[in-house]
Structure 1
């Protein structure tokens, strides 16, 4: 998987490649799907969610430029796979999952594998974790209508936020870099497709934008 699907497709960060080799992806897929664990494709998991294809996981982590000693937030933990990979590089990983069944299973899985530097919480990931901020990097594993303002504000200056932004069918993978107290730079990393980012600063359950994203007079945030 690492040599053919990642390195040959342009993933160059040796720390990312080593982490992808170390983490057993078959432990993070649904029962009965183990034989497909190393295919370069997303796979269904509980609660109507998916585990992203290995290349996308690697590409997002590489784009975030995570370093040893970093504190990283992952939004949309799902099965816990991306958090596990990040934990092999960063010092501390905080992961948020809104589905309790997924969150509890991911926590048990991570603990069972001895990934003790991951703290998994159940809640609205669009609001981040202000009590643990600021973060060196934030990765969002679901697509929202725009970049959640709360996540931007929880970045350290110089930190990067990697997030899919767009409609429910297809998004652009955006990298937002905090360049100052109130300034940000953005980069479009290409087209992707993720499950919807549900929450106060994402999509509502009915597929509309959440109220926090369309207040009267509010301007659209960075969108790549």
Structure 2
């Protein structure tokens, strides 16, 4: 397989046609090597338009969905980002190139350790992988400029909105299969939020999130 041709085809035939047009994001997909974060046994699937299996029934999202989520975050180089659901570490790697720092939570010890090893090895030194339950948020009273939920939630838990800085952005896939949509929420004041639905998709659910309290607009 010609890896660079496969990468080019991924960007031009899958990602760009799916309304990912931000040049910075597109360039980053060439810079951060997706195959470095794919399990070895699935390396030949690194550029396919499909989810890639990880341990514990988890999965890497499809390349076009990863790219569109990244574009939706509208990251700046001073942003401190919280990601819930590390998985392979690839999304954290992409975010790290655009933001000041990334803290990413992973409930599975082995996935967290593997992701941290890969991130460090490939020079993503502004990423901290923490073993923890994302359903409980990152409870150290920090606020975040950007929050990404890498798995779906049936309802958006209030706990994440409470740790979003004023002016900050949260992106999550909200709903229950087959009806889910990527939703972007901006905190425009201490108690004021603006929400918009960006596009429909279906992704696996985050663990332990179903009983979390709902955020009401």
Fold shared per TM-score above 0.5: yes
Tell me, what secondary structure is at the counterpart of 2:44?
helix
Q: Hey, which bits of structure 1, 4+ residues long, moved more than 3 A?
A: none
- The residue correspondences of 1:1-224 to structure 2 (distance < 5 A) are 1-131=10-140, 133-199=142-208, 202-203=209-210, 210=211, 212-213=212-213, 220-222=214-216
Tell me, what secondary structure is at the counterpart of 2:14?
helix
Tell me, what secondary structure is at the counterpart of 2:119?
helix
CA distance in 1, matches of 2:179, 2:121: 35
Structure 1 position 7, deviation (Å): 2.2
Deviation digits for residues 70-98 of structure 1 (CA, Å, limit 9, x no counterpart): 11111111010100011111110110011
Unaligned runs of at least 5 residues, structure 1: 204-209, 214-219
Tell me, what secondary structure is at the counterpart of 1:142?
strand
CA distance in 1, matches of 2:41, 2:164: 39
Deviation digits for residues 126-176 of structure 1 (CA, Å, limit 9, x no counterpart): 332243721111111111121121111111112111001112554211111
Structure 1 position 36, deviation (Å): 1.0
CA distance in 1, matches of 2:84, 2:106: 7
Structure 1 position 104, deviation (Å): 0.9
Unaligned runs of at least 5 residues, structure 2: 1-9
Structure 1 position 40, deviation (Å): 2.0
Structure 1 position 110, deviation (Å): 0.7
Q: TM-score, normalised by structure 1?
A: 0.87
Deviation digits for residues 88-123 of structure 1 (CA, Å, limit 9, x no counterpart): 111101100111111111111111111101000010
Structure 1 position 60, deviation (Å): 0.9
CA distance in 1, matches of 2:159, 2:28: 29
Q: TM-score, normalised by structure 2?
A: 0.90
CA distance in 2, matches of 1:70, 1:12: 21
The answer to whether the 8 Å contact 1:170/1:194 transfers is: no
